[in-house]
């Protein structure tokens, strides 16, 4: 096993397109005649297991949880004013999806901020609501892991942060 790996069993990690997962193990497997060292990550929310080759971990975007400072930056972003471009929804939706899948908490916070609706504001379309919830849940899962709390507490924290704004 490689001892120089930045991940070890039990660590929480972030995979850009799936969010926060937990490193279950680092194992060697032979696949199509090649011996590979794999990081096995479980995502409880999706009941999914992902195996990322150690050699591809960095290029796949796999990373450790965000620092407290980066999460504070994301929370500050949530308090900002929503910036909604006047482009077609399909174009904005693509941009929002790209930000969510970047795995960057500050970019995800921008999506949550821009799509958040306060009481009394016009309703969201179904697709706006879906993207908003995906971004909120992705950000909340990382906040929960950093704060060592659960999704409900983290979601509440995000929503309270946006109410203050």
Q: Are strands 48-53 and 63-64 parallel, antiparallel or unpaired?
A: unpaired
pLDDT at 17: 85
Q: What is the pLDDT of residue 120?
A: 65
Whether 137 and 79 map to the same domain: the answer is yes
Separation between Cα atoms, residue 27 and residue 39, nearest integer Å: 7
Integer distance in angstroms from the first to the last C-alpha of the chain? 48
Please tell me the distance from the alpha carbon of residue 84 to that of residue 28, in angstroms, as a whole number.
Answer: 47
In sequence order, the 6+-apart residues with CB closer than 8 A to the CB of 29 are 35, 36, 38, 51
Output the domain CATH number for residue 21. Answer: 2.40.10.170
Res. 3 pLDDT band, cuts 50 70 90: low
- Is residue 135 within 8 A of residue 154, CB to CB? The reply is no
**pLDDT tens column, 138-148:** 999 999 999 99
Closest CA to 73 of 146, 153, 133: 146
Q: How does strand 12-15 pair with strand 19-31? A: antiparallel
Can you tell me the distance from the alpha carbon of 142 to that of 93, in angstroms, rounded to the nearest whole number? 22
Is residue 36 within a helix (H) or strand (E), and if so which, with residue range?
A: strand 34-43
Is pLDDT of 164 > 70?
no
Share of the chain above pLDDT 70, in %: 95
pLDDT digits (tens, 9 = 90+) for 94-126: 999 999 999 899 999 999 999 998 666 777 889
Task: Say yes or no: 76 and 150 in one domain.
Answer: yes
- Amino acid 58: pLDDT: 85
31 in a domain, yes or no?
A: yes
Residue 55 Cα distances to 18, 59, 61, angstroms: 19, 8, 12
SS3 content of the chain, % helix, strand, coil (to 5): 50, 20, 30
User: Which pLDDT value is given to residue 10?
Assistant: 92
Q: Looking at the 3D structure of the chain, how many domains does it have? A: 2
Which CATH number fits the domain that encloses residue 151?
1.20.58.1290
Question: Do residue 52 and residue 92 come from a single domain?
Answer: no
Token pair of 12 as six digits: 């929480």
**pLDDT of 25-45, one tens digit each?**
999 999 899 899 999 999 987
Asked whether residue 37 falls in the same domain as residue 56, the answer is: yes
Contact 26, 3 (CB under 8 A): no
pLDDT tens digits, one per residue of 44-95: 877 899 999 999 988 998 999 999 999 999 999 999 988 888 899 999 999 9
The mean pLDDT of the chain is: 89
């Amino acid at each position: 096993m490689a001892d120089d790996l930045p991940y070890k069993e039990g660590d929480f990690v972030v995979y850009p397109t799936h969010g926060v997962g937990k490193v279950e193990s680092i194992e060697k497997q032979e696949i199509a005649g090649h011996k590979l060292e794999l990081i096995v990550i479980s995502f409880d929310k999706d009941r999914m297991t992902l195996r990322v080759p150690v050699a591809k971990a960095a290029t796949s975007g796999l990373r450790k949880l965000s620092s407290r400072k980066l999460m504070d930056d994301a929370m500050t972003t949530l308090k900002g004013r929503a910036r909604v471009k006047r482009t077609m929804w399909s174009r904005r939706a693509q941009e929002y999806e790209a930000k969510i899948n970047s795995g960057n908490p500050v970019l995800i916070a921008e999506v949550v901020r821009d799509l958040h609706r306060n009481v009394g504001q016009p309703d969201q379309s179904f697709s706006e609501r879906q993207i908003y919830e995906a971004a909120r849940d992705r950000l909340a899962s990382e906040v929960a892991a950093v704060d060592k709390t659960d999704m409900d507490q983290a979601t509440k924290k995000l929503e309270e942060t946006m109410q203050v704004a």
